[in-house]
Structure 1
Amino acid sequence: MKILVKLLYALLVITSALLTQTAVAKESNSIVFGVHSKTAPLEWRNNGVDQGFNLELLDRIGQLTGNRIAVRRKTFQQLLTDVHNPDSLIDVIAVVSPVTIDRDLSQSDPIYATHAKAYTLQGKSFIEGWDDLKGKRVAIKKGAFVDVYISGKQQDFKRVDVDLYETGFQLLIKGQVDVVIAENFVARRLMPLYPSIRSSSDPLIYGAFNFVSNRKNAALMAHINDALRQLKLSGEYDRLVNKWFGTGREKVDLNSAQQRMLSLAIFVSLISAVGMLLTGYVSLSLRKRSKALKLELTQRKKAEAAISNLSKQFQSVLDGIPHGVTLFNRQGECLWSNDNNQLLKNPEFHYIDGQPFKLLPSLLEALDSNRSTIADMVIKNQHWQLQLHPIGDDQAVILLEETTEQQLLRQANDEASRLASLGELSAGIAHEINNPTGIIIHSIAFINDALADLSIAADSYQKQNPFWNIAGLEPTSALTELNLSSQSIVEGADRISRIVNDLKRYALPTIADEYQAISLNEVVQVSLRLTANQIKTLNVVTDLSSPSPIIKGDAQQLNQVLINLIQNACHAIVLDADTYDNDQHIVLETHIEQEFAYLTITDKGQGMDRATLQRITEPFFTTRRSSGGTGLGLSVCSRIIKEHKADMQIKSHIGKGTVITLRFPLETQT
């Protein structure tokens, strides 16, 4: 009994010390980083050392912000609970968020892109999209970015909540679920452990890794964002990405295989030692020789079987690497590959500058110079990065990684920069146009006053000289024409001033969370003036509610949405078609219904099929890629509409046109 009391007292002392140490660590100048992942190359522990991309990135951020990073490992559900608790000791965690949905937390800029796909047992049919999940049992990790994405959406499948993606894979093996929707990095690690499971769809959800924290740590998250942007500007972020996510980096998952090989080597060594002892014993005892040899042979066969099994597992891991890895000799013969390497022999596979790629000359050049080559390649609409490395013995390895998504993101970033520059240029041009417009308005006012005085003098002078003409016209007619011309100049100058003011308002920078009461009718009128050049050949009809609906929002952002929708409608119109009623190409309507204001844009264009409608708001999806479409317009519009607590409904039929309805919470009426 006394021993038990002493043990309890010692336990209380240790617990108190740990709590005190935790509190002191929390009060010190440190950031507590909560970690749950065991997925290389993001976060994992090797020989007791925490490492990975997220850990190294946050540690570098801590150095820039003057904070020490303390790592705490917990389960995913515990971390989600902690980060929503303002009193939690956990400051920051790293999670994946869908690209179109923000978590209800303070979060950083995107760290690294990823996606989620559907996984099924071998032999099951390929899943084309969400409609193929109808009626199926689908495993969803509770609280993960897949869960966040589908929350509030219509679900035609039977959802089965799991705590880990690995739990979902185990249920799939047991036949208790039909599909697992899992994040890419985790699934890539698990698939070699479950060879009967395969990837059975294209990416269904795009997401990005973010650091997230409780909103009380908004100031801390602002420092993290500043440091993250500093790392990106300096190029250090790119070096970290190349270090942890470069071609072949997923091999870090082979640590466990190496440990198994080491254990097996130790086991084989022990078997060999036992065999030597048995051999020595047999030499001393001839009667037991036969039995000892048989036992040793049996043990060796088991060891060979274990080595063979481990070799197959090792090959499975290599085959599971997502990038193409191919080994060649000097003659250009393929010695080993984890794909069919047909891309390297395709005549359409060329360098990004248009130069053709020739396999054998490239191999010989790398082997002769003993220098590696890294190049960006293109085939059709796909971008690839090719790495060619000589590895000795007249052999070279070629690594292929698809970089289409990174290229699209880079193009989107360049396009956004160009648009930002165009907005600044537009504001400057608008300011410069206002100056001569003001001079015109001021001067024409003086001319009007002068014409009123000159008309009296002209009457008197005409009596003295009946044959007097002004610009070839009889004086009365000439003065009338001058008055009409003066009035036209005033109207034109006013129109220029009105368009310039609209352009300046449109180019103003957006200030988030400072929405004001605005007129929905005025948004329509300003957008029509800014798109006057696009719609001048079309018959555009407006039916605006009176009084105008008043909503709370940002006029500049809503102008951006409506201008994009009007331009899309213009692209859909075929002028020689005979499907229009009274030549009404585009109709814009506003009305009030119950507690909502509605804005409807109807066009009699070509319409869209069901497949296009399902993907129309996805980033980078466009049906006008050949004519310069980026696929970002409706994606940005969708984000702006959600920020205004509004929703968008799209109805379209091939050959009959499209109807887009925007519904806003009603503020008041005027």
Structure 2
Amino acid sequence: MKKTFYSMMAVFVAVSLIGASLTGFYLYSIWKDMSLLINANESLQRRIALADATARLRKLSTGEPLNLSGRIAAAGTIETFLINCNGCHHSIAGQRAVADMMSLVNSIRKVNSDAVKSREFIDGLASHAHDALLAGQMLVRERSKRAHTYIKITSIAFIVSIFFGLGGLILISLYFMRKFESNIDSMLEATDALRRGEKVNIDMFVKDFRKVGYSMEMMQRELMIKEEKLVSWARQWQTAFDAVDLMMALCDNDGSVTVANRAFNNMFGADEDITGRNMEEIVCRKDRHGDGFSLKSTLRDGMVYSEIIKDNGMTLEVKTFPVISGDGVIKGVLWIGRDITRERDLEERAVQSEKLVALGELVAGIAHEINNPLSSVVGFAEMLRDSREVKGKVRNKIEKIYLAAMRISRIIRNLLEFSRKKPVEISKNNLNEIAEKILELKEYELNVENIDLVRDFSEIPLILCDWTQVQQIILNLLNNAEQAILEKGGKGIIGLKTYSDDENAYLEISDNGPGITDEIKNRIFEPFFTTKDVGKGTGLGLAIVYSSVKSHGGEIKIASTPGEGTTFTVSFPVNKRIN
């Protein structure tokens, strides 16, 4: 490229020098012709002056008396002109004419007093002066024509030279411009190839621009290598990002998701693309609004925030970290979430178990203390009630005392059953058989109350359990379902279903009662918690169920929708030793 540029500069300099030389030559020629013309005019002026001096001398020679001094003076003037002209004429004819005129002037001086001879000499001198004047006029005319012709020719030649010079310069410029244009087109084509990721063709560059082609080819190779490294790094980063079991997502300054890992997508967007959606719309939108959302807080002040979000039965522990650039500007937020639903559930169950243990110990002591005097109350009340001496209103009051004492006694027995820590008598039993025995006892009662039993028993493996405790579990759950249906009214349905997997055998007891709310579900296994009217329940039935299931190493879960019914699911380990 430099070579082409230098070539162009050399052409421009050469054309400029040639133009300047031609211009100088033509100007010199014109100056030379004009100088000759000026010399011819000066010569003509001297010849005119010589002719005038000769005419004056002739006039002085014709008058009477003769003016001798005037003729001498006029002859001297003519001699002066002839002396000045002697150095200007180099031709033989010119030199001879000047010599003849000088001779005539000298002759006039010698015969000054002889009028006749002096007139002859003066006439000869006048004839020579007239011839010189005519010759001078001819010289001026010829040199004027010559100068005019030469100037015209010179002007035409100058114009032609300029025309061809500029034409040549334009053609050369066009040539170089086309060359530059071709190379620029090649560079643009190569740039487009780079943009499209195609290979740059070196053959499209010529001569000096081939270096540009090589440079672009090298740049393309470097770009491809860097692009491959970036793609590889991005894949490795995404693989590592997806390998983390925590839910992670990067958000921009608007809170919109730019990239998320597999755990996040599985939790919130398995069936749709969540990229570009706002995080507040994706995660627990019912739970957090406004500036309380930790992501907004991190974007606002660049601090790390954490919070617990609950929604649809799921509990998330969320932390938000600011993404800060090198110049300290917040560019986005890293959102990290962990599903702690099971942990919280286990914690709540552990707390519940501790409450039950503490309450059992307390109840055991109280029950024994109350049971002794209560036995006396029941015994004496029964004796008085059966006595023939007690009649009327007193007998009715004693009956009420007896019934109240019996109710207290039943409560005490439930409390003792709840707190009793007798060893579990473990044996292999069939869960279907245990359930069927209980149904045989309850079926008639349920039919009378317009409640149908629906059995769906599957072939399941034997479980290690205490027959009596499992019977109590099933009976309490059936009683709970029966009371819920009676509370709602209408036709009732209670379903029992058994099934199993590799680890557990399951029993589901469902009803079409009124259902329960989330608030009640969270407290339903607490001792003495009941939604029934006063006197209709102790609140210990489900607490005993929970304690018994736990003693068998099992789990109990509840699912309910208000207005649609409730389902309790109890799981028992299959062939697993119970501590």
TM-score range for the pair, normalised by the shorter chain length: 0.3 to 0.5
Q: Normalised by the size of structure 1, how large is the TM-score?
A: 0.32
Q: Normalised by the size of structure 2, how large is the TM-score?
A: 0.36
Mark the structure with the bigger radius of gyration.
Answer: 2
Please identify which structure carries the higher helix content.
Answer: 2
Please identify which structure carries the higher strand content.
Answer: 1
